[in-house]
Structure 1
Amino acid sequence: MLISKRELAEKSVVKSVEVIKVIEVQSLIGEGTEESVVRHLKEYFDLEGNLLAKHDTLND
């Protein structure tokens, strides 16, 4: 049986919340072709320059 996002959220318990410093880099990527559409990319780095996460709007 699949669990809906709402049911999962209702069953989730927040373990902790913390405010941290990160570097957010916003880029415009892609070549403007059908194979490589232009889109936004957000990347998040720690203060040592390690990539933490990225979000490519291609899948939005």
Structure 2
Amino acid sequence: MKRYQCRAYPTGEWQSLARSFGCAQMVLNDAIVVRQTSRLAYLNYFGSYWETGGEGA
């Protein structure tokens, strides 16, 4: 069985559209990382409070 490898490159308007979607994906990934780290920090801060039934650490 013979395999062929083909790659298509966007031109003109498609190239700017592809760049915009790439930037949007990077922003989305950064937002997800910020959300996850802030959620973990929140849980670490209040985790001991919830585990002890409100008595604190």
Question: Where on the TM-score scale, by shorter chain, does this alignment land: which range?
Answer: under 0.3
Q: Which has the higher strand share?
A: 1
Give the TM-score of the pair, scaled to structure 1: 0.21
Which structure has more relative contact order (CA 8 Å, sep 6+)? It is 1
**Bigger-Rg structure (1/2):** 2
Give the TM-score of the pair, scaled to structure 2: 0.22
